[in-house]
Amino acid sequence: MTHVKLTMAQALNQALRDAMKADDSVLMFGEDVGPLGGVFRITDGLTAEFGEDRCFDTPLAESGIVGMAVGLAMNGMRPVVEMQFDAFGYPAFEQIVSHVAKMRNRTRGRVALPMVIRMPYAGGIGGVEHHCDSSESYYAHTPGLTVVAPSTVADAYTLLRRAIEWPDPVVFMEPKKLYWAKEEVDLTEDVPGIGKAVVRREGADATLIAYGPSVPIAMEAAEVAAAEGRQLTVVDLRSVVPFDDETVCAAVRRTGRAVVVAEASGFASVSSEIVARVTERCFHSLAAPVRRVTGFDIPYPPPKLEKYQLPGVDRILDAVDDLQWEDS
Amino acid sequence: MTTVEEQLLPSKEPVRLIDQDGVLHDHSSYKLPAEQTLVDGYVELIKGRRINDQASALVRQGRLAVYPSSHGQEACQVAASMVLADGDWLFPTYRDTVSIVSRGVDPIETLTLLRGDWHSGYDPYERNVAPQSTPLATQLTHAVGVAHAARLKGEDTVVMALCGDGATSEGDFHEALNFAAVFQTPVVFFVQNNEYAISVPLSKQTIAPSIAHKGIGYGVPGERADGNDLAGLLAVLGQAVDKARAGEGPQLVEAHTYRVQAHTNADDATRYRQDDEVTPWLERDPIKRLEAYLNSAGLLSDDTKKRADETATQVAQYLRDGLMPEPGVDSEDLFRHLYAVPTPQLVEQAAFLRDELAREES
């Protein structure tokens, strides 16, 4: 057992380092990921340790970064690219949707693209515009992509390792505001892989379904609810695609009530998909319509206003209170 | 002594070794390819022309959904493949069927995309030919990645990346040239400037002196060639490939040619250009001029003519035989190959469709 205290940023850095040690074909590149170590220092020290062929800066062009990764993956490499910020990934959208996601399908499985697009995402860091988008729904909507969003330090390490080993392209959504969250972890510990949700907390009364940056908020809400006498289950999706219907539905059936918590705008989103899936599959187990606590359908607000946008404990508890505990 | 800037700029006029009357011209920087290469190239041109015309006929017969023909551009098509070594890569677009077949890919597999029973019908690794790209210029950055991977592995692979004049307006054209230049990757960017992007003429894509001139902005040497002169193209592209292989970084080559037919059979070119614009280009046909030269040089034997004719007849027959029958399709294919391991949701959806089809049959 090797317990260490790490931030999520350090765990991601360790995952990259260990992956690059384990496999010479793993390359890390993007904007400022070289000597600087990335604006969030996720790639800190990698160029020094592995050299400029393995971890390198590129010209400032996201479509080019992802397009180059496609070619590298076609020719035997396992590229990991960083998009620096969620909203800076949009120039690469055509590459991601038309090529990254479709290559295996277009070629009848002859060309696979094992690659990871690391996407520091979401808000809660006081960032100015274009730095705080929750863009996961765009990728989750695109067949062919695998979309992962860790919420714990241990998961950040293990899921990134798994993503790099994954035979298909992974959009790896890193919750920026959790980069500095510290946990005591054992990196050698086996945790469930991509495609498996986990129950972070058991409670009989209702289920909170969350992923990425919303999981700690859901856990906090469950803690407060318990103090007030209501026991909540918290399901952490970990990967949005593949979606773990089994774990989510089992929790909802046990509790009969559910609230989905997500930072992204709710309209036509991952959160609306979860509500649809749960309703289609668990209707007879539900004592109340599934509620959502999401961002409003607005562009991500400026720093001084983001507190109104982010799902918080009170808003989650209000939604739980609203789950028709008794007939009105 | 030339300056660095001068070395990056293209020739004052497009390189032409054989003019439209079949007359040979000396060039200070480029040599006429070997006689046998020109003879083999002639056979490939005849074959390429037949593929274009047979495929267009198969569209009219409803056997292909659409065919973007390279009729009149066959010299570019053939040259792009002829200058490559076996281990090299070709990154083609939807108009580059002839180039793909010239590289050795099965013609039926090449036309799968346009027949519509799958997207890409050939195995890209068999002849190192990427799937044809329909989105413009997006394949150029992939070419850079493949070339960069080869360099990291210590291989001397060169990547030939094709695009048209319209695609040079796309951001990915810029990003690919810039990335290739910064990383000095061995890519030859070969632009077939056929003057039209569907209906929009080159004058509305760029006012640069030529597309080849764009190279200097990236520090990439640009060169231009008469796109209907196979000899000139082989010389220019061959030299570009040699330079890229020798570690001199990416090269940009522009071929001046012309799309003598409409964009596809679904297009009506009379809405945007006059016949008198097309007519002079018919006189510049790549086959006519090479034939004229080979005849005058006494290189076109009866055997060669016979070989060309037989090759063309065979490929046309092969296309008809392969494309006339209705292709079998398998609904299960819809769900295969999205992921190495299908998601539970895809497994469910495949079962749903299977069940629906079973009920329809019963």
CA distance B345 to chain A (A): 8
Q: Do A104 and B336 touch (CB under 8 A)?
A: no
CA distance B317 to chain A (A): 26
The reply to whether B59 and B84 lie within a common domain is yes
pLDDT band at A190; cut points 50, 70, 90 = confident
Q: Tell me if A67 and B153 make a contact (CB, 8 A cut-off).
A: no
Residues B288 and B346 in one domain: no
Q: How far is A325 from chain B (nearest CA, A)?
A: 32
Domain that holds residue B40: 4-329
Q: Are residues B241 and B351 in the same domain?
A: no
- Rounded to whole angstroms, how far apart are CA atoms B163 and B134? 10
pLDDT at A305: 97
Q: Which among A74, A98, A104 has the least Cβ separation from residue B146? A: A74
Give the pLDDT mean for A288-306.
97
The CATH code belonging to domain A3-186 is 3.40.50.970
Name the class of domain A198-321. alpha beta
CA distance B206 to B225: 18
Q: Give B193-213 pLDDT, tens digit per residue.
A: 999 999 999 999 999 999 999
| Residue B135 forms contact with A (CB below 8 Å) | yes
Q: Is the pLDDT of residue B55 over 70?
A: yes
In contact, A103 and A70? CB cutoff 8 Å:
yes
Does B131 contact A at CB distance below 8 Å?
A: yes
Residue A12 has pLDDT above 80, yes or no: yes
**Residue B32 shares a structural domain with residue B93:** yes
> Which has the minimum average pLDDT: A185-194, A302-311, B244-253?
A185-194
Asked whether the beta carbons of residue A68 and residue B338 sit closer than 8 angstroms, the reply is no
The average pLDDT across A137-141 equals 98
Q: What is the pLDDT of residue A300?
A: 97
Lowest mean pLDDT, pick from A181-190, A248-257, B333-342: A181-190
Tell me what the mean pLDDT of segment B281-304 comes to.
96
Q: Are residues B335 and B283 in the same domain?
A: no
Which residue out of A24, A75, A106 would a mutagenesis test of the B interface target, given it has the greatest number of B Cβ atoms within 10 Å? A75
* pLDDT for the residue numbered A1: 55
A·B CB contacts under 8 A: 138
The pair of three-digit structure tokens given for residue B102, joined into one six-digit string: 């010239």
**What is the Cα–Cα distance from A163 to A15, expressed in whole angstroms?**
10
* Residues in CB range of B144: below 8 A, 6 or more apart: A64, A67, A68, A71, B159, B161, B176, B179, B180, B183, B185, B187, B250
- Judging contacts by C-beta atoms under 8 Å, the chain B residues touching residue A55 are none
Q: What is the pLDDT, as a whole number, of residue B265?
A: 86
What was the pLDDT predicted at A327? 78
- For residues B44 and B15, state if they share a domain: yes
Mean pLDDT of A47-67: 98
Tell me which residue in B140, B150, B179 faces A58 most closely, judged by beta carbons: B179
Burial class (CB within 10 angstroms; exposed 0-12, middle 13-18, buried 19+) of A285: middle
Q: What is the mean pLDDT of residues A75-97?
A: 97
Of A63, A103, A167, the CB nearest to B172: A63
Specify whether B239 is located in the same domain as B354. no
Give residue B361's pLDDT band: very low, low, confident or very high (50, 70, 90): confident
Q: Supply the pLDDT for residue A2.
A: 75
CA distance B326 to B115: 10
- The pLDDT value given to residue A273: 98
Q: What integer is the mean pLDDT of B173-182?
A: 98
Is residue A192's pLDDT more than 90? yes
Same domain assignment for residues B83 and B47: yes
- Determine the average pLDDT of the residues in A19-39: 98
Q: If pLDDT is split at 50, 70 and 90, which confidence band does B2 have?
A: confident
CB B152 to CB A53 under 8 A?
yes
Contact B138 A241 (CB under 8 A): no
Note which residues in 316-335 of chain B have CB less than 8 A from chain A. 333
The ranges assigned to domains in chain A are 3-186, 198-321
Same domain, yes or no: B64 and B202: yes
Q: Is the CB of A67 less than 8 angstroms away from the CB of B171?
A: no
User: Minimal Cα–Cα distance from B296 to chain A, Å?
Assistant: 45
**pLDDT 10s digits, B122-161:** 999 999 999 999 999 999 999 999 999 999 999 999 999 9
Number of H helices, E strands in chain B: 14, 7
Q: What percent of chain A has pLDDT over 90?
A: 97
- Matching CATH topology for A3-186 and A198-321? yes
Helices (H), A2-87: 8-22, 46-50, 62-74
pLDDT at B3 over 90: no
Looking up tokens 């009530």 gives A257
B355 and B247 share one domain: no
Structure ipTM over 0.90, yes or no? yes
Interchain proximity A64–B141, CB inside 8 Å: yes
Q: Is B337 on the interface with A (CB under 8 A)?
A: yes
Nearest to B138 among A67, A72, A245 (CB): A67
Pair (B183, B281) in one structural domain: yes
Neighbours of B238 (CB within 10 A): 19
User: To the nearest whole number, what is the mean pLDDT of chain B?
Assistant: 96
pLDDT at B7: 92
Contact B135 A98 (CB under 8 A): yes
**Residue B90: which CATH number?**
3.40.50.970
Question: Annotated catalytic sites of A, by residue?
Answer: 131
Confidence bin at B266 (pLDDT 50/70/90): confident
pLDDT of the residue at B263: 92
pLDDT for res B1: 58
CB pair distance less than 8 Å for A243 and B131: no
- Closest in B146, B340, B344 to A168, CB measured: B340
B12 to chain A, any CB pair closer than 8 A? The answer is: no
Question: In the predicted model, what is the mean pLDDT of chain A?
Answer: 97
